[in-house]
Amino acid sequence: DSKEDGHYWASCFFAHQAAEYAAKALLESLGVEARGHSVSSLLDRARELGVEIPEEIRRKALSLDRHYLQSRYVNTFYSGAPVDYYTLEDAEKALGEAEELVRCLKEKVRGS
């Protein structure tokens, strides 16, 4: 478990991945090819197709989007590496956001 091992950057990245794949599953369930890595953009596409996405879930997607690059690449910070910037609080927040987002989207996939 990345969080338990102190790899907070990895927890944040994996949280983003879970949210991204949930958003892509929703679009695929609607017969739409899902491309890209921005969770918020994927949810915007679902909204365009008539899926009701609560604003709170979209805000969580925006928060998670920052972890796609920042959590892995050293050149996204002025100095240091992601390991120097990510905290337990960041990991817990990202994991909680992803859990809520996945739960919400799972219900929508089942209902489609």
Domain map of the chain by residue range?
Answer: 8-111
* Mean pLDDT per 10-residue section of the chain, whose length is 112 residues: 86 98 98 97 98 98 95 85 93 98 96 73
CATH pick for 8-111 out of 3.40.50.10860, 3.40.190.100, 1.20.120.330, 3.30.70.20: 1.20.120.330
The three-state secondary structure class of 58 is helix
The pLDDT score that the predictor gives to residue 112 is 65
Closest CA to 36 of 55, 19, 53: 19
Question: CA angle, 66 as apex, 34 and 39 as ends, to 5°?
Answer: 20
Residue 45 neighbours by CB under 8 Å, 6+ apart: 27, 32, 34
